[in-house]
Structure 1
Amino acid sequence: MNAASADLLVEVRAFRLRNPQVRYVDLIALDIPGHFYGKRYPVDMLEKVAAGSALKLPQNCVLLGVQGGLFKIGDYCFNDGDPDAVRRLVPGTLKLVSWEAQPVGQMLITSDGTATPIEFEPREVLVQVLQRLRTKGIHPVVAFELEFYLFDKKLLDGLPQFPRDECSDDGDDQPNMHIERLSRFAPVLDDMVETARAQGIDTTVITAELGPGQFEINFGHLDDGLRAADWAALFCRSTRGVALKHGYRASFMAKPYLEHPGSGMHVHVSLYDADGNNLLAANEQQALRHSVAGCLELLPFCMPIFAPNQNAYRRLGGSVNSAARASWGYEDRDACVRIPESDAKNLRIEHRIAGADANPYLVLAAILVGMEQGLENRLDPIAPLNEDRSSGIDFPLDILHGVRAMQQQRQVREGLGAEFVDVYCENKRQDHLALQHEISVREYRWFL
């Protein structure tokens, strides 16, 4: 047994001692659309996996569509024999699931770090980007912020209803940033935060956002970008579970209401050298400007990552703090890339374009590739919105145009991996076409 297996075995045995009532552990990983897949293992079998027994799942689980179906993507899924691929346990992620009727455990698994990693697995894509940056002496510090909506647990004719609390029969009537909304929904929000912390996630500020039943919860900054993305993924899972336990439905859908703001995934990124110096602040913030320019240049070609479905594009433009063009600015929430006010040590970008339902591993990978391109090519950004409110670069506003742009862009293919880009784009295209396989009531009303 090697040192890594020995440490995993210690982790599993310690978990069993703390939680003797747990009989099963869910081994989970994030697929391309951002859903968890996996297997439920008896906890005694988990010890064998930790000790070095093989852990295999079908490779094509990563390729599942939004509804769980498989699409023909090159030779994958239907011409490859549906092969298994080796996974490994992610150390430090074995935690108790407290929101289900019977207590179980959960633990992240991944193909990265195995002998044959899956090139298009989202976590592996981010691993490759982070490793490349590390060889260049660049160490990101990352923090995610996630907005989400609470709904009543029951849908009405398939449509979401405002969340009900004991003080209101008509739903959430509290305005933006109103502290009373936090008080009225304190039981479920407190449980979400405490459950996330039990998962090892450093949750910080809670905000009542503009939409009815809309909230934002922030995470602490991490010098491990991979772990930061793990936090974002696991938070979505636990938040949905806790909401159901309290009689609500939590959703990270990017635009659930046309008349209210959408939900975003905001990502704060700083870059440091090995000695802890903030690279973005050096030379009168030249590296910051290069990083911003790189993000803006590649943003139009990464839109299928930032807006991964048709609904996500409804969030862009025409509403509060949501950009319709690639732009940047100091302390400007209308910009895709915002520079928050801070001292030199904490100087960072806040990337604001992604919808809350985007895949956090891929969002962070795309942001870092943009910053990397800007630094290497010493790009200069367009004028900030503070100087010119019309400044900006057009980007695709529908999924099919976005897919075509992404698949053909050389720097994106090199930065994220050509195999990943081809697989991802075809997955998004097939998902979108599957969504269209229904004639809506409006079509009949307009065209019958």
Structure 2
Amino acid sequence: MPSTEAAPHAEISATTASAGAATAEFADHLAREGAPEIVEVLLPDTHGVLRGKWIPGGAAQKIWTDGVAIPLSIFGLDIWGREVMETGLHMETGDRDGLCRPVPGTLKPVPWAPRRSAQVMITMNEPDPRGGERPWELDPRHKLARQVERLAALGLYPCVAFELEFYLLKQQAGPDGAPEPVFPARGLARQNMYAMSDLDAYAALLHEVREAARIQGLPTDTVISEAAPGQYEVNLYHRRDAMAAADDAILLRRLIDGVARKHGLRASFMAKPLLDFAGSGMHVHVSLTDGAGDNAFGAGEAGEKLLRNAAAGMLATMADTCMFYVPGYNGYRRLVPGSYAPTSVSWGYDNRNVAVRVPNGPPKARRLEHRIAGADAHPHLVLAGILAGMLEGIERGLEPPAPLTGNADDVSAPRLSHSMHDAIRNFAGSSFIADAFGTTWQQVYAVMKEAELAAFEGRINPLEYETYL
């Protein structure tokens, strides 16, 4: 993972950030980019869906001085944006407002927008009965911040990079409602993996993605054609700042979607949009550095032990945290044998069939690659689950089973959760989740996912009509 020199991503809070320092970022933006017509405030909800507001450019300074009022119950919406009453966050509470604060370093121009626009990510605080405000416990961002703090107490700091796969699709679905992918080469539906011709076919769009990322300061790296027609992958350089790395992934998804729409296409991060082709994953590379910035995994025998402990913790907590990595009904279609996605609770060296891979490389690049998450997952929750698992292994001194070689589909290792129902049950009953993320958040997330599953199970699919009608 090549290095990026991005500045550390300090979290804003009412007790540590001065209004003067906060407004300076907006003033600097005005000096560089001119006044925007609107500023889009972006709040990733529990599912990673971006919610928020458009604020007129002339009134945008209040985002930094006063904050942005949004109901706390936005973290009680389902994937479709509907209230999940079982969360107890809506009418029962009077639907109180929280106060959202901008995330430093995320104010960026929006180069694909038809008008001069800027965007900034925000994070949710709630009124503190003792005065002031405090982080809202249901904002996933704060769940990741907690795991980073726990690691820092051990003198360890995560260094993280995300890889995002996606499909380019036609704007209109096919006659059966299924998505229609673009076929870069002669209209043929085939893999053509890593083909330069498929990159050339959509070079204008992909170069615009790269240029928009440059303008926004997103540290994009490799772009490749993946294992299906119209499927691509964009990699991000690693960050020595876990919060910034997760922010990069959220913002890159929005960027790719925006540029694709400008070109008359859709960009889909759906985990399994096409049954006959590979799904789209979100691979996460994580190493741990010490206080001097050196890779702790590369520190000889002690580093190898630390890596094994971290891998063991990830494996031991994989069933409990699977809902973070595969949060929706469709995602479990991706986790099937022979699909380029892991199916077992396994790890190994330079083996792309396992759930946790140790890539080849020199000691300074020693890292673990987590390969389970779908591209539709919430980056902050994915990374929070990974880091909490690593902490479990490190603090308890866990040792992993023997690393696997060959095809991990053909071994007797425990299987990953095979359904959303299975994953919800493991998550809701987990004492590990309760300890690492809090019982309130555990209960709210579980009932939201139970409601989501019920919505899918409450539909009759077309095959049933074809068979029984």
Deviation at 1:65, TM superposition (A): 1.1
Could you tell me whether the CA contact under 8 Å between 1:366 and 1:416 is conserved in 2? no
Matched, 1:232 2:232: no
1:18-417 residue pairs with structure 2 within 5 A?
18-20=32-34, 22-50=36-64, 52-111=65-124, 115-157=133-175, 158-163=177-182, 168=186, 170=187, 175-282=192-299, 284=301, 285-386=304-405, 389=408, 390-417=411-438
Please give the secondary structure, in 1, of the residue aligned with 2:134: coil
Question: 1:37/1:232 Cα in 2 relative to 1: closer, same or farther (>3 Å)?
Answer: same
**Larger deviation, residues 308-317 vs 128-137:** 128-137
Structure 1 gap segments, 5+ residues each: none
Partner of 2:458: 437
Deviation at 1:202, TM superposition (A): 0.3
Please give the secondary structure, in 2, of the residue aligned with 1:87: strand
- Equivalent pairs, count: 445
Question: 1:101/1:172 Cα in 2 relative to 1: closer, same or farther (>3 Å)?
Answer: farther
2: CA distance, partners of 1:244 / 1:172: 22
Question: 1:173/1:56 Cα in 2 relative to 1: closer, same or farther (>3 Å)?
Answer: same
2: CA distance, partners of 1:126 / 1:386: 32
**Larger deviation, residues 424-433 vs 349-358:** 424-433
Deviation at 1:173, TM superposition (A): 5.3
Could you tell me whether the CA contact under 8 Å between 1:87 and 1:109 is conserved in 2? yes
Give the TM-score, by structure 1 length: 0.95
Deviation at 1:112, TM superposition (A): 5.8
Paired letter, 1:70: E
Please give the secondary structure, in 2, of the residue aligned with 1:382: coil
Could you tell me whether the CA contact under 8 Å between 2:223 and 2:233 is conserved in 1? yes
**Larger deviation, residues 117-126 vs 356-365:** 117-126
2: CA distance, partners of 1:275 / 1:417: 32
Deviation at 1:321, TM superposition (A): 2.5
Give the TM-score, by structure 2 length: 0.91
Question: 1:382/1:91 Cα in 2 relative to 1: closer, same or farther (>3 Å)?
Answer: same
Structure 1 segments of 4+ aligned residues over 4 angstroms from their partners = 171-174
Matched, 1:14 2:28: yes
Paired letter, 1:366: G
2: CA distance, partners of 1:189 / 1:41: 30
Deviation at 1:7, TM superposition (A): 2.4
2: CA distance, partners of 1:358 / 1:373: 22
Please give the secondary structure, in 2, of the residue aligned with 1:141: strand
1: CA distance, partners of 2:239 / 2:110: 23
Matched-pair identity in %? 36
Please give the secondary structure, in 2, of the residue aligned with 1:193: helix
Could you tell me whether the CA contact under 8 Å between 2:39 and 2:57 is conserved in 1? yes
Could you tell me whether the CA contact under 8 Å between 2:136 and 2:142 is conserved in 1? yes
Paired letter, 1:317: V
Question: 1:174/1:352 Cα in 2 relative to 1: closer, same or farther (>3 Å)?
Answer: closer
Could you tell me whether the CA contact under 8 Å between 1:146 and 1:264 is conserved in 2? yes
Deviation at 1:385, TM superposition (A): 1.2
Paired letter, 1:403: I
Deviation at 1:124, TM superposition (A): 1.0
Please give the secondary structure, in 2, of the residue aligned with 1:302: helix
Could you tell me whether the CA contact under 8 Å between 2:167 and 2:181 is conserved in 1? no
Paired letter, 2:50: F
Please give the secondary structure, in 2, of the residue aligned with 1:322: coil
Question: 1:376/1:388 Cα in 2 relative to 1: closer, same or farther (>3 Å)?
Answer: farther
Cα deviation code 1:286-332 (max 9, x no counterpart): 11111111001101111111111111000002234311111111000
Could you tell me whether the CA contact under 8 Å between 2:158 and 2:289 is conserved in 1? yes
1: CA distance, partners of 2:218 / 2:311: 28
Could you tell me whether the CA contact under 8 Å between 1:382 and 1:392 is conserved in 2? no
1: CA distance, partners of 2:383 / 2:125: 16
**Larger deviation, residues 203-212 vs 190-199:** 190-199
Question: 1:112/1:342 Cα in 2 relative to 1: closer, same or farther (>3 Å)?
Answer: farther
2: CA distance, partners of 1:31 / 1:221: 24
